[in-house]
Amino acid sequence: MKIWVDGEVLFEITDVQKKVLAHLIPEDELEEDIKRRLKYIITHKYKACLKKLKEDWDDKLEKSGVEMIPTNREKYAELVFKQPGYKGRGKV
């Protein structure tokens, strides 16, 4: 089993590793279980980063005169990224 992102293999699970995982996870549920766990990890990291972004920027947005702060996560992030003082960690 290979885990791909944007055409690149990021991780490969060998047959032996699958058997070890199947010791506790029924083999017929293994693939879905792995997908669920990967989704959880990325979602959890996204939410933690968004929380930190909001902690860093809620006051800055208010002080800069922004009167309408979106409740939508994507729109909030876009608003922050457009601010002159925003400095990210690099381009995505």
What is the total count of domains within the chain? 1
Do the domain assignments include residue 89? no
Cα angle for residues 21, 42, 83 (degrees, 5° grid): 170
Do the domain assignments include residue 23? yes
Do the domain assignments include residue 92? no
User: How confident is the prediction for the chain on average, in pLDDT?
Assistant: 93
The mean per-residue pLDDT over the stretch 1-19 comes to: 94
Rounded CA-CA distance 37/58 in Å is 31
Q: 73 near 92, Cβ under 8 Å?
A: no
Q: Measured between alpha carbons, how far is residue 81 from residues 38, 69, 88 in Å?
A: 27, 13, 8
Q: Provide the residue range defining the domain that includes 35.
A: 2-81
Q: Is the pTM of this model over 0.75?
A: yes
Burial of 57 (0-12, 13-18, 19+ CB in 10 A): buried
The mean per-residue pLDDT over the stretch 69-87 comes to: 95
Please report the pLDDT score of residue 48 as a whole number: 97
Do the domain assignments include residue 30? yes
Do the domain assignments include residue 86? no
Do the domain assignments include residue 14? yes
